[in-house]
Amino acid sequence: MTTRPCTLIRMAQALGLGLMLAASAHAADGGATKEQAVAMVKKGVALVKAGPADKAYAEISDKANTAFHEQDLYLVVYGLDGTVKAHGANPKMIGRNLIDLKDIDGKPFVKERVEMAQKQNSFWQDYKFTNPENKKIEPKSMYCEKLNDTVVCGGIYK
């Protein structure tokens, strides 16, 4: 069976529309968007660059600071050795080395993240993580930017 080119185009258009509607529905349900994640990471990078870094990490980790906590979006900052410098959802993680942490599928996402940061200045990373809003394990896409010997990240739940 052969598929006509116009049929393939219509199928691709329908798939694209479906993905756009799903993303819009997620945002309408209170979930952050990719654009919001990128903007928040850039804001976090600027704050850390302005220094001092320890003060910036404290601001990023402060759940009351709405500049770095929006819907289900928050920032995390890891050293390139896997040590948490700032964590917007769980400040108890600060100072812990999580290089061996794996998601529910066994993916060593922290190790992968710091390895990606050593090769790229910015990137998206997919894994599964517990959504702090609903406490469910969900697919997550994390946008990250390397900053000196750290990686600053903010992610969206899909």
- The domain limits of the chain are 1-30, 31-157
pLDDT at residue 77 above 70?
A: yes
Segment 1-21, tens digit of pLDDT: 454 543 333 333 333 333 333
Q: How far apart are the C-alpha atoms of 18 and 154, rounded to whole Å?
A: 25
Segment 105-144, tens digit of pLDDT: 999 999 999 999 999 999 999 999 988 888 899 999 999 9
Q: pTM value? A: 0.80
What is the rounded average pLDDT of the residues 31-40? Answer: 94
Sign of CA dihedral 127, 67, 71, 24: negative
Q: Domain 31-157 is in which class? A: alpha beta
Q: What is the pLDDT of residue 45?
A: 98
